[in-house]
Structure 1
Amino acid sequence: MSEQADQGTQVPPVSNWNLPNALTMVRILLVPVYGVLLAQDTVGSRIAACVVFVIAALTDRWDGHIARTRGLITKFGTMLDTLADKILVVAALLIFSWLGEVPWWVTIVLIVREFGIMALKSALARHEVIAPSSGGKLKAVLQMVALAVLTVDWVNLLPEPFGAIMYWLGMVILYAATLIAVATAVDYVIKAARIVRAGRSAT
Structure 2
Amino acid sequence: MTRPRHWRAPERHPDHGADPVDRVSPFNVANGLTALRILLVPLFAYLLLADPGDDGARRWWAAAVFVIAIATDWVDGDLARRRHLVTNLGKIGDPIADKALVGAAFIGLSVLGELWWWVTIVVLGRELGITALRFVVIRHGVIPASSGGKLKTVLQSLALVLLLAPLGPAVQLVGHVVMGAAVVVTVVTGVDYLLQALRLGRQRDGAPR
Provide the TM-score with structure 2 as the length reference: 0.88
Match of 1:160 in 2: none
Corresponding position: 1:25 with 2:32: no
Match of 2:8 in 1: none
One-letter code of the match for 1:17?
A: F
One-letter code of the match for 1:184?
A: T
Q: Counterparts of 1:1-203 in structure 2 under 5 Å?
A: 6=16, 8-41=18-51, 42=53, 43=55, 44-154=57-167, 163-203=168-208
Identity of aligned residues (%): 46
One-letter code of the match for 1:151?
A: L
Q: Are residues 4 and 73 of structure 1, via their aligned partners in 2, closer, same or farther at CA, if it must alter by over 3 Å?
A: farther
Q: Are residues 5 and 47 of structure 1, via their aligned partners in 2, closer, same or farther at CA, if it must alter by over 3 Å?
A: farther
One-letter code of the match for 1:79?
A: I
| Contiguous gaps of at least 5 residues in structure 1 | 155-162
One-letter code of the match for 1:183?
A: V
Larger helix percent:
1
Between the aligned partners of 1:5 and 1:38, the Cα distance in structure 2 is 58
| Contiguous gaps of at least 5 residues in structure 2 | 1-12
One-letter code of the match for 2:19?
A: T
After TM superposition, give the deviation of residue 40 of structure 1 in Å: 2.2
Between the aligned partners of 2:155 and 2:28, the Cα distance in structure 1 is 29
Between the aligned partners of 2:207 and 2:97, the Cα distance in structure 1 is 37
After TM superposition, give the deviation of residue 102 of structure 1 in Å: 0.5
Instruction: Between 105-114 and 187-196, report the one with greater CA deviation.
Output: 187-196
| Residues matched between the structures, number | 193
Q: CA RMSD in A?
A: 1.5
Q: Are residues 66 and 4 of structure 1, via their aligned partners in 2, closer, same or farther at CA, if it must alter by over 3 Å?
A: farther
The structure that has the greater radius of gyration is: 2
